[in-house]
Structure 1
Amino acid sequence: MQVSLASERLLADLLKARTGQELPDNRRWRIGSALSGLCREYGITSIDQLIATFSPTRQTTLARQMVEALLNNETYFYRDRAFFDYLTGHVLPGLAETRAETRTLTIWSVGCSTGQEALTLAMIFASQEARWAGWTISILGTDVSSSVIEVARKGCYTPFQIQRGLAMGEMIKWFEETPQGWRVRERLRRMTRFEEHNLLDPLPVLSGGQSPTFDVVLCRNVLLYFDAETRERAFARVASALAPDGWLMLGAGETTYGLTDRLAPERGAPGFFRHAKVARRTRAA
């Protein structure tokens, strides 16, 4: 579908205002395909007509639907498996030692989409049952899109989704095949919860009046479409939520360089970052 320049600009402004994401020229080719389903749903023949039916200053269902259609919700189980291998072999054993007294770990999957990343983490813990026996493992998945959070909460995946990243044995072990799809087993569900949340907003306050603190934060490929100023704000949120000795995992090729002085790369661990003071001690060791 053809889209006028005026409509492109309006959609870019709407996406930025609601999510912080940019819609650069090299991504605008997606507009037609992304919004074509909404055009059919509303019986409208063009994107420009669709744009004309909503007010960009009001919280309307159509505005939310357009924003969600423009988001990139690509995800799959064990995405970039080498990252999870490092997490399993190095990060979690260290945390097991430093958290031995409380026997509690809290992890945040930012931009969790339909939940595969958070469930991958749950599978890792469940696969090491002896090591984590008696521990409280809490995995929070958040995303700005309400529609993908709804899918994550249901925990039911299509054959295509379940086969992306999982071997047949893993599928059978952690999911149950049902007429509706492959449904996550209760053992993993107990470790995970999913909430609609914008990374640029403060995290909800806990019952004790404190903001949550996370031992590990995964924020992979979330910042790709933010401008530099918005990335700085996002890193400030993450740094505030990360435990003093916690770990941050970014996507391949993402970095904190030039965007924050609070977080720095961990030596010998591409994709992993820590509070700057901790990272400097590691490099000096």
Structure 2
Amino acid sequence: MTPSEFEFLKNFLKTKSGLVLSNDKQYLVESRLLPVARSSKLETLSAVIQQIQRGGNRALETEVIEAMTTNESFFFRDKTPFEHFRDTMLPALLESRASRKQIKIWCAAASTGQEPYSLAICLKEDKAKMPGWRTRILGTDLSQEVLEKAKTGLYSQFEVQRGLPIQMLLKYFEQKGDMWQITPEMRAMVEWRKFNLLESFSLLGEFDIVFCRNVLIYFDQETKSEILGRLAKSLPDDGYLVLGAAETVVGLTDAFKPVPGKRGLFQKKQVVQAATGTVASPRLVAGGAFQR
């Protein structure tokens, strides 16, 4: 792959998916796209790039984008966000949403589904506190391939061993040969949709909680700021944003501030300030339902 071809590919990926590749990632591109070339019966990466440059081959473009997307995920990843969900977010929302008894959660970049299903398990574990409540979880990802796996809820022994306590495995999964499948009841708690974070969020509606973990790190500063601005509009005043442990809003947006003492957890700036007694508490805003 020539320097000019690599530059074209970097621009293509940034435009189509927001993914930013540094100049030292050419080896990564080659290792991930050579299988794409072989599956497309193209002899070289140069041939793949030439096909994309000509245009009209949407299937190849999608395959290239999906091959370059990182889809690492496992159950209850990093633990802390799920502790915040159980101990901070859920109790606050059960109080503030008591009149309508509905909580809506969006897991952006949901990959193969372990994060949404982990949240579904948390909700099921707390069901005694939520009689009559409706909970809806939307999982989205850029890759149709990983979404298809997420929909099946079928995981290998290795995948279920990564972060999933044995008692939860036996309670919420059924063994299928050498695989484990999350039960139909749990699968029904999650909706799935292919979605690009570069697109408008308006058709998704409003959410009480947004998990957007370990995805902003792949974007440039401008794209991060733009996505955070749109996430702010997708949350009511007292909603919650959950980012990855290494991610921050500092220098990117004034809409969110960290929740004190809660790593990776953010709320609207005025809410966090109200909690410290600096401004009046804002009114609560009712959220809209998902739109298909």
Q: Normalising to structure 2: TM-score of the pair? A: 0.90
Partner of residue 280 from structure 1, selected from 273, 276, 281: 273
2:34 & 2:170 partners in 1: Cα distance? 36
Shift in Å at residue 176 of structure 1?
Answer: 1.1
- Does residue 20 in structure 1 map to residue 13 in structure 2? no
8 Å Cα contact 1:83/1:271 also seen in 2: yes
1:181 & 1:17 partners in 2: Cα distance? 38
**Counterpart position of 2:282:** none
1:203 & 1:58 partners in 2: Cα distance? 27
**Counterpart position of 1:62:** 60
Q: Secondary structure at the match of 1:251?
A: coil
What do the CA deviations read for 1:42-95 (whole angstroms, capped 9, x no partner)?
233432232223336445101110111001111111011022112211111111
More off after superposition, 53-62 vs 180-189: 53-62
**Counterpart position of 1:42:** 40
Seen in structure 2, the aligned counterparts of structure 1 residues 237 and 204 have a Cα distance that, compared at 3 Å, is closer
Letter in 1 for 2:221: A
- Does residue 252 in structure 1 map to residue 245 in structure 2? yes
Q: Secondary structure at the match of 1:284?
A: coil
1:251 & 1:124 partners in 2: Cα distance? 19
Q: Secondary structure at the match of 2:208?
A: strand
Letter in 1 for 2:34: S
**Counterpart position of 1:208:** none
Over aligned residues, Cα RMSD in angstroms?
Answer: 1.7
8 Å Cα contact 2:76/2:164 also seen in 1: yes
Percent identity of the aligned residues?
A: 34
More off after superposition, 183-192 vs 26-35: 26-35
8 Å Cα contact 2:249/2:256 also seen in 1: yes
Shift in Å at residue 220 of structure 1?
Answer: 0.5
User: Which blocks of at least 5 consecutive residues in structure 2 are unaligned?
Assistant: 279-292
How many pairs were matched up? 278
Partner of residue 143 from structure 1, selected from 138, 141, 163: 141
1:31 & 1:70 partners in 2: Cα distance? 7
Seen in structure 2, the aligned counterparts of structure 1 residues 232 and 58 have a Cα distance that, compared at 3 Å, is farther
Letter in 2 for 1:47: L
Shift in Å at residue 263 of structure 1?
Answer: 1.1
Partner of residue 102 from structure 1, selected from 96, 100, 103: 100
Partner of residue 225 from structure 2, selected from 222, 232, 236: 232
Letter in 2 for 1:69: A
Q: Normalising to structure 1: TM-score of the pair? A: 0.92
**Counterpart position of 2:168:** 170
What do the CA deviations read for 1:83-110 (whole angstroms, capped 9, x no partner)?
2112211111111111111110000001
**Counterpart position of 1:117:** 115
Letter in 2 for 1:98: S
Seen in structure 2, the aligned counterparts of structure 1 residues 162 and 56 have a Cα distance that, compared at 3 Å, is farther
2:170 & 2:33 partners in 1: Cα distance? 36
Q: Secondary structure at the match of 1:92?
A: helix
Seen in structure 2, the aligned counterparts of structure 1 residues 239 and 56 have a Cα distance that, compared at 3 Å, is farther
8 Å Cα contact 2:239/2:268 also seen in 1: yes
